[in-house]
């Protein structure tokens, strides 16, 4: 069998050329990085969990009409997705203050925001993904005004969906990051949600206890990241077949 062509290797995923034009195979690695890859570790099983969780969220979004790149899961670590031209922005939606917003504005972590706040960062690791305004985005041609309207609408629809799904299993969606990409149909282009949606890119807090169930567990040395992600997957009913119970075997359905 011919070797697959690697298109791109990032911190948490590898992209390979897909079997048909316009498709890509997205492979989820076990690597965890934080602080622009200054902190690194291999967390066995993280890739399997994120593959399942991203499938779960993207499928749910598709069912409510939010266009996204997911086509199908191929195996434990890989999914087939639509090839897109990534818009070079990280789109962050915040419901509660945390992380860089708390630092930047001096707001206590966990403070409920008056409404969801959407922020944009320019996707460039060498610059540490700096926060940018719509002025920068328009002036440098990263996205048009129509794109920005579409991006805002996608981001808020993802927020509504994810907040509800998480709330139903006792988890507060504090904030999250998405990426969007362009797909072309003849002369027309439209934007769809791409990349991944997983606890790597969200802040998820247990509603009762405030326990963190996301990548902050790794960033801030709060415990076992795999246990946290497994708990999210368990609550959502998204456990990989053959997955070994981690800490609470009696709780697994």
Span from 24-32, 164-172, 201-209, 236-244 in contact with ligand 5GP (CB under 6 A): 201-209
Six-digit token pair at 195?
A: 């990349």
Task: Give the nearer residue to ligand 5GP in terms of CB position, either 93 or 192.
Answer: 93
Told to check if 99 binds ligand 5GP by CB under 6 A, we report yes
Distances (CA, A) of 6 to 14, 17, 90, 249: 7, 6, 23, 38
Span from 38-46, 62-70, 165-173, 194-202 in contact with ligand 5GP (CB under 6 A): 194-202
* Closest residue to ligand 5GP: CB criterion: 99
Task: Give the nearer residue to ligand 5GP in terms of CB position, either 21 or 106.
Answer: 106
Selection from 253, 202, 201, 252 nearest residue 227 by Cα:
252
CB 96 within 8 A of CB 175: yes
For the bound state, the minimum distance from the C-beta of residue 202 to ligand 5GP, rounded and expressed in Å, comes to 5
Span from 94-102, 134-142, 182-190, 226-234 in contact with ligand 5GP (CB under 6 A): 94-102
What is the rounded CA–CA span in Å between residue 82 and residue 85?
A: 10
Selection from 179, 196, 208, 209 nearest residue 12 by Cα:
196
Six-digit token pair at 201?
A: 């890119």
Interacting residues with ligand 5GP between 150 and 179 (CB under 6 A): 175-177
Choose, by CB under 6 A, the member of 13, 29, 69, 203 that binds ligand 5GP.
203
For the bound state, the minimum distance from the C-beta of residue 195 to ligand 5GP, rounded and expressed in Å, comes to 8
Which DSSP letter does residue 186 get? T
Choose, by CB under 6 A, the member of 200, 213, 230, 233 that binds ligand 5GP.
200
What is the rounded CA–CA span in Å between residue 12 and residue 29?
A: 5
- Positive or negative, the CA dihedral 120, 58, 99, 105 is positive
Distances (CA, A) of 97 to 84, 120, 139, 175: 31, 16, 29, 8
CB 88 within 8 A of CB 122: yes
Count CA within 13 A, CB hemisphere, residue 18. 20
For the bound state, the minimum distance from the C-beta of residue 93 to ligand 5GP, rounded and expressed in Å, comes to 8
Task: Give the nearer residue to ligand 5GP in terms of CB position, either 172 or 203.
Answer: 203
Interacting residues with ligand 5GP between 110 and 149 (CB under 6 A): 129
Binding stretches for ligand 5GP (CB under 6 A): 90, 92, 98-101, 129, 175-177, 200-203, 215
């Amino acid at each position: 069998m011919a070797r697959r062509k690697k298109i791109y290797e990032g911190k948490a995923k590898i992209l390979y050329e897909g079997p048909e034009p316009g498709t890509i195979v997205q492979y989820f690695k076990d690597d965890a990085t934080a602080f622009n890859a200054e902190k690194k570790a291999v967390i066995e099983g993280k890739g399997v969990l994120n593959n399942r969780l991203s499938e779960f969220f993207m499928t749910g979004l598709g069912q409510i009409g939010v266009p996204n790149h997911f086509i199908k899961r191929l195996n434990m670590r890989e999914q087939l997705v639509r090839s897109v031209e990534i818009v070079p922005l990280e789109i962050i939606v915040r419901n509660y203050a945390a992380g860089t917003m708390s630092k930047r504005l001096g707001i206590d972590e966990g403070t409920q925001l008056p409404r969801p706040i959407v922020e944009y960062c320019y996707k460039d690791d060498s610059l540490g993904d700096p926060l940018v305004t719509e002025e920068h985005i328009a002036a440098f041609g990263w996205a048009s005004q129509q794109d920005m309207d579409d991006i805002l609408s996608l981001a808020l629809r993802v927020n509504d969906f994810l907040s509800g799904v998480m709330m139903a299993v006792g988890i507060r969606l504090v904030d999250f990051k998405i990426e969007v990409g362009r797909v072309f149909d003849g002369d027309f282009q439209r934007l769809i949600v791409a990349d991944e949606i997983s606890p790597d890119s969200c802040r998820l807090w247990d509603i009762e206890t405030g326990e963190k169930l996301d990548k902050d567990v790794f960033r801030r040395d709060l415990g076992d990241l795999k246990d946290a992600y497994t708990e999210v997957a368990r609550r959502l009913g998204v456990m990989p077949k053959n997955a070994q119970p981690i800490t609470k075997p009696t709780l697994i359905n």
